[in-house]
Amino acid sequence: METTKRGYAGTEGDVILPRVAGFLIDHVLTVFLIVGLLLATGPETTAGVYFFGAVAYLGYFVALEAAVGQTVGKYIAGVAVVNPDGTPISVGQALVRNVLRIVDGILSYAVGLVVMLVTDDRQRIGDLTAGTRVVRSRR
C-alpha cells in the first residue's frame, strides 16, 4: 500500500462507512457552528439567515479540506481527501466537490451513496467532478 502525504493510495474501497460516519459528525458540528454564528451575528432577514448558513456550511468543508485535507469528522473517522496521486487538493477542487453536495445530497444523500457504490474508486459526484478521492488517512 503506497503512503502519500495525507493518506494511503488504493484504500478508496475501504472508506464508505468511515466517510458516512465522518459526514454525520461534520453535519452535527456544522449545525452547532451555524446556529452559534447566527445567534452571534443575528441576520435581520430570512434570506440573510439562509445565505449566511449556506456560506458557513460550505466554508467549513472547503476551508478544512483545502487546508489539511480533512474536516473534523473526516479526521475522527480516519479518512482524507486527496488527488488521485495522493497530493493535497486545491481550494478550487474543495469548492467544486462541496458545491456538488447539492446533487449528492438528493434524497438524504442516497444519490451520493449510490454513485459511490458503483464507481471503482468509491467517488461521489463531487469527487468525480473535482478529480478527488477519499482515502484512509495517515495519522
Average pLDDT (107-131) is: 96
- Given this model, what pLDDT does residue 91 score? 98
Mean predicted confidence (pLDDT) in 92-97? 98
Q: Give me the amino acid identity at 88.
A: P
pLDDT at 52 over 90: no
State how far the Cα of 100 lies from the Cα of 96, in Å rounded to an integer: 6
- 80 or 38: which carries more pLDDT confidence? 80
What is the number of other CB atoms lying within 10 angstroms of the CB of residue 71? Answer: 25
pLDDT band at residue 128 under the 50/70/90 scheme: very high
C-alpha cell belonging to residue 64: 478544512
State residue 42's pLDDT score. Answer: 81
* Type of residue numbered 54: A
pLDDT of residue 139: 72
Query: At residue 46, does pLDDT exceed 90?
Result: no
Q: How confident is the model at residue 21 (pLDDT cuts 50, 70, 90)?
A: very high
Q: In the sheet that 7-8 helps form, which strands lie side by side, from edge to edge?
A: 7-8, 133-137, 79-82
Q: How confident is the model at residue 116 (pLDDT cuts 50, 70, 90)?
A: very high
Going by pLDDT thresholds of 50, 70 and 90, the confidence category of residue 124 is very high
**What is the DSSP code string of 42-95?**
--SSHHHHHHHHHHHHHHHHHHHHHHHS--HHHHHHTEEEE-TTSPPPPHHHHH
Tell me, what's the pLDDT at 49?
Answer: 85
